[in-house]
Amino acid sequence: MTEKKKTTIVLFSGDYDKAMAAYIIANGAAAYDHEVTIFHTFWGLNALRKNEKALVKKGFIEKMFGKMMPRGADKMGLSKMNFAGFGPKMIKDVMKKHNAMSLPQLIELAQEQEVKLVACTMTMDLLGLQKEELLDNIEYAGVAAYLADAEEGNVNLFI
């Protein structure tokens, strides 16, 4: 085969269902032998947060942001029918029944398949997120690095 095709996905959304769609496509594309990049920006960064609290210095507003946003993929809400957190519980039950993978599992699988996970550093600053709070083995970059991948991309999505 000739040079590898590329898939690039911008994950802007911080909803469990939308992030799931992004990660299913990313894992599928990796199975298609594409080089895959997911660029996490704004609320999408929360998918990369670790569950546990990291000891980092923060200002007041940053602390508030940190408290109000979901700490990790498993804590994210649904874009529809969230019902104050009851929706995700229901859908996770249904997913188990249908043997669908959970979002944290999909993220782990993506890392196994060498999907490049990128955190947007500018929005990390805006939301007060620091490297210590995000998953290990991810990359940090801005719009130029994303565009460098995207301009050679065959599939390019904004979710």
Partner 1 sequence: MNSVKVLDAKGLACPMPIVKTKKAINEIATGEVLEIHTTDKGAKNDLTAWAKSGGHDLLKFEEENGILKFWIKKG
| Residue ranges that bind partner 1, judged by CB under 8 A | 1, 24, 27-28, 30-33, 98-101, 109, 113
Q: Minimum distance from CB of 27 to partner 1 (Å)?
A: 5
Q: Minimum distance from CB of 79 to partner 1 (Å)?
A: 19
* C-beta closer to partner 1: residue 33 or 151: 33
The three-state secondary structure class of 37 is strand
The amino acid at 110: A
Q: What is the DSSP string of 26-41?
A: HHHHHHTT-EEEEEE-
Contact 116, 36 (CB under 8 A): yes
Q: Which residues contact 21 (CB under 8 A, 6 or more apart)?
A: 159
* C-beta closer to partner 1: residue 36 or 129: 36
* C-beta closer to partner 1: residue 1 or 68: 1
Q: Minimum distance from CB of 62 to partner 1 (Å)?
A: 36
